[in-house]
Amino acid sequence: MQQWWKESVVYQIWPRSFADGDGDGIGDLGGITSRLDYLATLGVDVVWLSPIYPSPQDDAGYDISDYQDIDPTFGSVEQFDALLAAVHERGMKLVMDLVVNHTSDEHPWFVESRASKGNPKRNWYWWRPAREGMNAGDPGAEPNNWGSIFSGPAWELDETTGEYYLHLFSRKQPDLNWENPEVRQAVYAMMRWWLDRGVDGFRMDVINFISKVTSLPDGHVHDGSLYGDAMPYFVDGPRIHEFIQEMHREVFAGREGLITVGEMPGVTVEEARLYTDPARRELDMVFQFEHVQVDHGETRWDPRPLRLRDLKAILGRWQAGLAKVGWNSLYWNNHDQPRVVSRFGDDGEHRVRSAKLLGTVLHLHRGTPYIYQGEELGMTNAPFASIDDFRDIQSLNHYAEAVSTGADPKAVLAALRVLSRDNARTPMQWDDTENAGFTTGTPWIAVNPNHKGINAQTELADEDSVFHHYRRLIELRHTEPAVAHGDFRMLLADHEQVYAFARRYGSTELLVLANFSGEPTTIEVPDAGRWQGAELILANYAVDATGGMRHLALRPWEARVYRVRSPLGSTKDNIVTNPS
């Protein structure tokens, strides 16, 4: 079926923390395979695996040293094939992470590239001499002023040849030079190899960074920043659409039933439309970041309280921008984001209700929803006590840099507690035993102590749990075409407490109402007559259906989904153009 992924829900597994099959404290393929029935019960259609390739694990596997093998920590190619078959047997698809903006510095391509200036692979990466008039290694001699996304400069001096290489992420993640056609062909061949093996597509890591402005100019230094802002020179760069179209031709053309997802920090709605316009043959959908930056202040490490109106404005703009052409991913969580129930919900008294509300709001938007492991249980941020509890390179580097340049360690830690990626990376909570059923060994990062109360075993047994609410949301997408295909209309856009919108498809209309607050409120339902007699199809409280629709009282963190079906055919005809 064409565009099957519009009616699908993707589940992201971050293998290190999902399930440990061999007791070494690190999740693995055996562990994942043993938990597939859980995913089938939830009802998801696609499983996306974060990287499982050989890697020095400097950035938890996003630093790959061999694209065509499995890291022994996670298992073997045989185990991978068995996992893939088991996923397919359950009617699900498997998507791999594709990390080709950069490799590991231990990848043979880079090992060769750094060997000498004349090496045939030299031009596979971005090598530059010291800044003119300066000596390599002098402070400030880097070829330009770009900062790495993981702190420090984006350049590392390589002593062997006395030149610097570019790394937008850690120094162990050198950027590939996509200007070089040999690089592109090597990547495409590797992608075909995985597709031939039977995988169903790719989630493409920072894929809108692969085309750089080749002169690599200095970036503007914003107030308070140590480095120049390089984003204008590598986000959606000059040849990006050409590269993605070439990839499509070389890898995907003529193959059916696949899904391609571009992770794209900094992408605009207008660019996203280009990337996902089917006529342009680029990608099926993007993963954008604006809504998960809504609570950032000046920097990524400056947490601010959520302003619901801002969140609605952002998501509403994306809904409108991709309404006619293109497609978006819908997500609150992944391995790079803190847990949403702690972030936009209430992880205390109203944890269960707010987790259900967040799921409802997200899954009822237009786009393909992604569930990150544990989100379906309402897992929360972790109670990190000191910097020693963190493992993530981005968090650790930021702490070191901030403290060494004079920041108060307590304040840095406070921000990390709220925003660190490690919040997403604590082990999956399967049951209430010592290590939450994640491992029989010592977990590589501490299990959240709240697993005694929050875990899959308990939730599976409770029809009223967050898990079963997510299961119903997925089922709704599968059974109600308006969820996947309906248009989207934001309601009450200026309301500070209530998120409300309508979906419409043929003769069906859906109304979603969600009170993003621990305070009750009463709303006047816009265009209430339209919803008279509507059927309540999903809620997170028991609802007395006897009242009318004009004024609705919403309890703390209450969410409701109503449906009306017009008996006379299309609601468009009946209501919009012919209100009688």
Let me know how long the chain is.
Answer: 580
Give every CB contact of residue 100 below 8 A, 6+ residues apart in sequence: 176, 187, 204, 205, 207, 210
Amino acid of residue 96: M
| Candidate list 93, 184, 335, 530; residue touching ligand NOJ; CB under 6 A | 335
Task: Specify the residue, 62 or 370, whose C-beta has the smaller distance to ligand NOJ.
Answer: 62
- Who's near 159: CB < 8 A, 6+ residues apart? none
Phi then psi for 357, rounded to 5 degrees? Answer: -60, -45
Q: Which is nearer to ligand NOJ, 99 or 292 (CB)?
A: 99
Q: Taking the complex as a whole, how short is the minimal distance between the CB of residue 98 and ligand NOJ, in angstroms?
A: 11
Contact between 361 and 455 under an 8 Å Cβ cutoff? The reply is: no
Nearest Cα to 100, choosing from 147, 67, 122? Answer: 67
Q: Does 234 help bind ligand NOJ (rule: CB under 6 A)?
A: no
Among 9, 70, 98, 99, binds ligand NOJ (CB under 6 A): 99
Instruction: Give the shortest CB-169-to-ligand NOJ separation in angstroms.
Output: 5
Binding of residue 284 to ligand NOJ (CB under 6 A): no
Please provide residue 76's backbone torsions phi and psi, each rounded to the nearest 5 degrees: -135, 170
Q: Cα–Cα distance between 411 and 397 in angstroms, integer? A: 15
Residue 336 binding ligand NOJ, by CB under 6 A: yes
Tell me whether residue 334 or residue 515 sits nearer to ligand NOJ (CB atom): 334
Does 155 engage in binding with ligand NOJ (CB under 6 A)?
A: no
Q: Kindly state the helix (H) or strand (E) to which residue 422 belongs, with its residue range.
A: helix 422-425
| Residue 72, SS3 per DSSP | coil
Binding mask 388-427 for ligand NOJ (x = CB under 6 A): ----------------------------------------
Write out the binding residues for ligand NOJ, residues 544-563 only, by CB under 6 A. Answer: none
> Which SS3 state, helix, strand or coil, does residue 436 take?
coil
One symbol per residue from 15 to 54: x for binding ligand NOJ (CB under 6 A), - otherwise; what is it?
----------------------------------------
Identify which of residues 98 and 513 has a Cβ nearer to ligand NOJ in the complex: 98
Query: Which of 64, 206, 251, 575 is close enough to bind ligand NOJ by CB under 6 A?
Result: 206
Distance in Å, CB of 23 to ligand NOJ, minimum = 26
Please provide the DSSP assignment of 174-186 as one string. PBB-TTSHHHHHH
Catalytic center residues: 205, 263
Looking only at residues 60 through 89 of this chain, which bind ligand NOJ when binding is defined by CB under 6 A?
A: 62
CB of 67 to ligand NOJ, least distance (A): 14
Nearer to ligand NOJ, 55 or 571 (CB): 55
Cα–Cα distance measured from residue 202 to residue 49, given in angstroms and rounded to the nearest whole number: 9
Q: Compare residues 54 and 556 and give the one whose CB is closer to ligand NOJ.
A: 54
Among 45, 59, 284, 480, binds ligand NOJ (CB under 6 A): 59
* Neighbour count for residue 567 (Cβ, 10 Å): 7
DSSP state letters, 239-300: THHHHHHHHIIIIITT--S-EEEEE-TT--HHHHHHHH-GGG-S-SEEE--GGGGTTB-SST
Q: Which is nearer to ligand NOJ, 168 or 491 (CB)?
A: 168
> How many residues at the interface with ligand NOJ, by CB under 6 A?
8
Is 205 a binder of ligand NOJ (CB under 6 A)? yes
Min dist. Cβ of residue 563 to ligand NOJ (A): 36
Closest approach, Cβ 60 to ligand NOJ, in A, equals: 7
Going residue by residue from 160 to 199, which x/- string records binding to ligand NOJ, judged by CB under 6 A? ---------x------------------------------
156 contacts 136 by C-beta, under 8 angstroms: no
For the range 79-84, what are the long-range contacts, defined as Cβ-Cβ under 8 Å and sequence gap of 24 or more? 79/29, 79/30, 79/33, 80/29, 80/52, 81/197, 81/198, 82/29, 82/33, 83/29, 83/32, 83/33, 83/36, 84/197, 84/198, 84/199
Between 62 and 243, CB nearer to ligand NOJ: 62
CA separation for the pair 338, 239 (Å, rounded) = 33
- With H, G, I as helix, E, B as strand and everything else as coil, classify residue 33: helix
Residues that bind ligand NOJ (CB under 6 A): 59, 62, 99, 169, 205-206, 335-336
